[in-house]
Amino acid sequence: MSVNSAALLLEGDAREVLHGLSTRPKKLPVRLFYDAAGSALFEQITELPEYYVTSTEQGIFERHALAMVAAAGGASTIVELGAGTAKKTMLVLRASLDLHRRHNNGSRHDVTFIPVDVSSFALGLANDRVRSELPQVAVHPLVMDYTHSFAPLSQLPGAKLILYIGSSIGNFEPMAASALLRRLRSSLNPGDSLLLGVDMRKPVDVLLRAYDDSEGVTARFNLNILTRINREFEADFDLSAFEHCVRWSERHSRIEMHLRSRVAQSVRVAALDLTVDFDEGETIHTENSYKFTPSMLEAVTFNAGFAIEQSWSDERNWFTVTLLRA
Ligand code: AVI
C-alpha cells in the first residue's frame, strides 16, 4: 500500500506523524510535545532565565491585572484556554475577586473559573491550585480540544472573560491563528471579551538564547518528541543521532525549532509500517513560534473579527497583552 492510501486509513496523531515523516521537509505536529514528560519540561523552560516570555508576561499581569479585569467589564466567569500552572491566572482571579468585593460586598462564589484543556491531568493541577489558594472561586474544569471547537463556551451564562495567554497563539501560522480566533469569536456573546498574550519581535540573539538555553532544557523538550514517537508508534529513533536546532526566520518573523540528523540513517516506525530515511544534516521541523509586530497582531485579530480595545506591555515592549472585543 502506498503511504498516501495508508494515511487515509489512519486518524489523528498517527495520520499526521505518517504524513509529516513522509514529506519533505519533514515535520511533526507541535501538540506531540505535550505528553507528561514534555509538559514537565515546558514548565522547566518557563523558569529559565533565558526564557523571558513567562516572566515578562507575568510582570505585565502583576502590574495591570486589576485594570485588565475592570476594562473587561468585571466579567464574573473567567475561562482559560490551555490550563497551565495558573500563576498568571491567579493574578487575574485575585483582581476579579477584588473588583467584585468592592462592588458586591464580597458575596461567596462571585467569580467562576473554567480552565479548559485536552489534558485532564493539566486540569487537575489547575483545579487543585485554585481551590487551595482561592477557595472563594468556583472552579469548573472543562475537558475540551479548543483547537477544534469552542461550542460549549457559548452555553455559559453571564459575561465571560477568556484568557488565551502565554503566546500560545504564536505556535499557529497566522492564517490558522486567525481561523482559531474566528471560531472562538463565534462562540462569544455580546459583552464577552478576550485577553490575548502575544510575544513581540525583539533582538534575534535574545530570541535564539530563549529557545536554545544553556542548560539544554529546550533541547530535551524538543528531543522528547522522538521519545514519544518511539513509545507510541514503536519507532527506533536513536536520540543521540539527532540534535536540537533553532533558527530565526526573518521572512516569517518566527523562531523555528528543528531536529537535525547528525548522520545519514534509517528509522523504523513499526506501528505505521514506515521506514524513514534521513540524509546527514536533514531536519524534522517541530515548532514555529511567531514573534509579532503591532501590525501583525492587528492583522491576525482583525481577520478574526475582533477589535483591539486596550493593550498592556512591559517597558521593553517585549510582550503584549491585548483586550479584544467581538
Ligand atoms: C507554548 N509556547 C508558547 C512556547 C513558545 O515559546 O513558543 C513553546 C516553547 N517551545 C520552546 N520553548 C517554549
Single out the residue of 231, 238, 257 nearest to residue 246, CA to CA: 257
pLDDT above 60 (res 262): yes
- Specify the ligand 1 atom closest to the Cα of 210: 12
Query: What percent of the chain clears pLDDT 70, i.e. is strictly above it?
Result: 95
Which of 289, 292, 319, 321 is the best mutation target for the ligand 1 pocket, counting ligand atoms within 8 Å of the beta carbon and taking the most? 289
Atom 5, ligand 1: which residue's CA is nearest?
Answer: 289
Contact present, 257 and 220 (Cβ < 8 Å): no
Task: Verify whether ligand 1 is closer than 6 Å to residue 56 (CB atom).
Answer: no
Q: Rounded to the nearest 5 degrees, what angle is found at the Cα of 166, between the Cα atoms of 127 and 98?
A: 55
Task: Verify whether ligand 1 is closer than 6 Å to residue 53 (CB atom).
Answer: yes
| pLDDT for the residue 106 | 54
Mean pLDDT for the stretch of residues 126-147: 90
| pLDDT for the residue 8 | 53
pLDDT above 60 (res 4): no
Contact present, 93 and 134 (Cβ < 8 Å): yes
233 vs 226: CA distance, rounded Å? 10
| pLDDT for the residue 118 | 80
Angle between helices 36-46 and 120-133 (to 10 degrees): 50
Residue with cell 535564539: 208
Which of 88-92, 265-269, 314-318 shows the lowest mean pLDDT across its residues?
88-92
The amino acid that residue 16 corresponds to is: E
Which of 39, 164, 171, 253 is the best mutation target for the ligand 1 pocket, counting ligand atoms within 8 Å of the beta carbon and taking the most? 171
Contact present, 48 and 78 (Cβ < 8 Å): no
| pLDDT for the residue 87 | 78
Confidence of residue 149 (pLDDT cuts 50, 70, 90): confident
User: Positive or negative, the Cα torsion across 175, 180, 182, 183?
Assistant: positive
Which of 122-131, 156-165, 190-199 shows the lowest mean pLDDT across its residues?
122-131
Task: Verify whether ligand 1 is closer than 6 Å to residue 166 (CB atom).
Answer: yes
Q: Tell how far the Cα of 193 is from the centroid of ligand 1, in angstroms.
A: 24
Q: Tell how far the Cα of 16 is from the centroid of ligand 1, in angstroms.
A: 20
Mean pLDDT for the stretch of residues 159-173: 96
Q: Output the average pLDDT for the chain.
A: 92
| pLDDT for the residue 117 | 87
Counting runs of H as helices and runs of E as strands, what totals does the chain give? 10, 14
pLDDT above 50 (res 185): yes
pLDDT above 80 (res 6): no
Mean pLDDT for the stretch of residues 153-182: 94
- Beta bridge pairs of residue 200: 292
pLDDT tens for residues 61-120?
999 999 999 999 988 899 999 876 677 899 999 999 999 888 776 555 589 999 998 877
Query: What percent of the chain clears pLDDT 90, i.e. is strictly above it?
Result: 77
Mean pLDDT for the stretch of residues 260-271: 98
Confidence of residue 126 (pLDDT cuts 50, 70, 90): confident
Confidence of residue 124 (pLDDT cuts 50, 70, 90): confident
pLDDT above 90 (res 10): no
Whole-model pTM: value is 0.93
| pLDDT for the residue 1 | 46
Atom 1, ligand 1: which residue's CA is nearest?
Answer: 168
| pLDDT for the residue 103 | 78
Task: Verify whether ligand 1 is closer than 6 Å to residue 46 (CB atom).
Answer: no
Q: Tell how far the Cα of 106 is from the centroid of ligand 1, in angstroms.
A: 38
pLDDT above 80 (res 323): yes
